[in-house]
Amino acid sequence: MRTTRGRFRLRSAALAAALGAGLLLAPLSAQQAVAASTLTNTGFEADGTGTATPSGWSTYSAAGQNAASFTEAGGRSGGHRLSHWSSSAYKVETYQYLSGLADGTYTLSAWVRSGGGQNAAYLALRNCGSAEQRTDLPVTSSSWIRVVTSVKVVGGGCTVSINSDANAGNWLNVDDLAFTAGSTGLGVKGVDLSALKKNEDFGAAYKNASGGAGDPVALLKGAGANYGRLKVWVNPADGYNTKAQVLATAKRIKAQGMKLLVDFHYSDVWADPGAQTKPAAWAGHSYAQLKTDVYNHTYDVLNALKAQGTTADMVQIGNEINTGMLWPEGSTSNWTQLAGLLKSGVSAAKAVSSSTQIALHLANGGDNALYRTWFDNATAQGVSYDVIALSFYGYWHGALSSLQANLDDVSARYGKKVMVAETAYPFRLDSKDAHENIIDLPSELVSGYQASPAGQSAWLRDVMNVVEAVPNGRGLGVVYWEPAWTAVTGNGWDPTDPSSGNAWENQALFDYDSRLLPAANWFAHR
């Protein structure tokens, strides 16, 4: 071990924690010898360009690669930023030790960019008297993204750390850090299990990561999921996703100690921005009757859930209703009528359980103009709700930075919690059945995220990181769409066609051998 001469004198407990975590602190200049109680030089503006060890910060590399950490022009808000880069493989850490902190929970926020490809690139809070906390940097080569991580400080000290374990040419940028009192975390770490009942009825089986047989709900709960989402159709051709199946799967979800989100489609088939077809039984009904239909159907399903002891914790009134629901009467071309239908659903849900949260759900989660227009109208019409829910699939809906900008804006504009109610990513491109997958070409992938178990893990991780970073604790959580919809004959996408195939099995969280994939472990995120 190198001599400690010239280092700042950490209390023995902090030093022991540092050594236990494998962190060997680098020698500091006299200017940096005394740790402060506040983070300094947070925008890396004090030294100009080309400084390997910015004022207030320290740099360490076991291989003597300190030069891989440096300041340069091109800050997010000021003139400079911190960068990690080298033309050869490198490991480097840029850190700042804080002392004299009051014990409590603190949050680090930072604006970051990364070209991806590193073995590891993350922010960390370590030597804080509790378990180290990390947040990985998302892949975002052009736009800045804010990320957060929080930790419990015990003993008054904490190290703020920026870390790279990188290959030649990999890079990251960091700027505008803040270390403040408060905590972060996600209340919803969910899985949509709408296809599970039919999948199992047609022979699907599930395994843990080691290949042992297991109940898929229990496996996902064991990985950290705490919410189950179930869609409801009115009278589908295959008889699935009706009240009966929702009741049965809700029992399994609640038995695992998970909460329940019920997603009303108000249709016999898929409802989304391009299709909001009325149920056949309601086809000839007047607008006034449709309001009654919505109320009665919503109340019936939710009251049955309550009666069996599985009250819904959250309810979506409509699914991806960018363009309204129950066309044509409930189209966004007639907001007064759409609002009336939404209010009927909300009233029914609250009549069953006043504590049930109401979510309104749109797709295209990166489209801020859409969300402003839609929720401005909902507000003007007096529609009551608790949560703004978004679908966000990066291969369709834009960059993570667009998702963040939209989440930040609408949560502040409407004073609501926000959540990603649907996301997913492929772990491979080929199909297990004969049906072509929705995402099956390299050109369809999000840049920086491969179709691999690691790429799928990184995608879920980074979407969760973006939601967690929504200011003022308004980032509620993330639901992964259909993680258990594996390829089994008979459970295809079309409820009217028993021979239809599955276009989604390569985005499930169970692989082609039915084993739980590593992405599921991100549900154990804060």
Give the catalytic positions in this structure. Answer: 320, 422
- Is the separation of the CB atoms in 341 and 293 below 8 Å? no
Distance of alpha carbon 168 from alpha carbon 92, whole angstroms:
13
Q: Does the CA dihedral 198-200-204-208 come out positive or negative?
A: positive
CA 470 to chain centre: 11
Encoded tokens for 502? 């599955």
Q: 280 in the Ramachandran plot: left (φ > 0), alpha (ψ -120 to 50) or beta?
A: alpha
Contact criterion met (CB below 8 Å) for 427 and 507? yes
Cα dihedral value 20, 24, 25, 27, nearest 10: 150
AA identity, residue 384: S
**Encoding tokens for residue 351?**
């009549």
Sign of the CA dihedral with 452 first, then 253, 404, and 150 last: negative
Among candidates 325, 302, 303, 323, which has minimal Cα distance to 314?
Answer: 302
Q: How far apart are CA 102 and CA 86, in angstroms?
A: 38
Reading phi first (left if > 0) and then psi (alpha if -120 to 50, else beta), residue 324 is in left
By the 8 A CB rule, do 225 and 523 touch?
A: yes
Cβ contacts of 128 within 8 Å, gap of 6 or more: 106, 151, 152, 153, 154, 155, 157, 158, 159
Of 372, 297, 301, nearest to 341 by C-alpha is: 297
Tokens of 435: 């049906």
C-alpha distance from residue 460 to each of 139, 216, 219, 345, 465 (Å)? 12, 19, 17, 31, 9
Type and span of the H or E element at 475: strand 475-480
For residue 493, report the phi and psi dihedrals to the nearest 5 degrees.
-75, -25
How many other CB atoms are there within 10 angstroms of residue 152's CB atom? 16
Q: CB–CB of 339/382 below 8 Å? A: yes
Tokens representing residue 188 in the block: 């919803």
Q: At what angle do helices 400-414 and 368-380 cross, to 10 degrees?
A: 20
Cα–Cα distance measured from residue 277 to residue 269, given in angstroms and rounded to the nearest whole number: 8
Gap between the terminal Cα atoms of the chain: 35
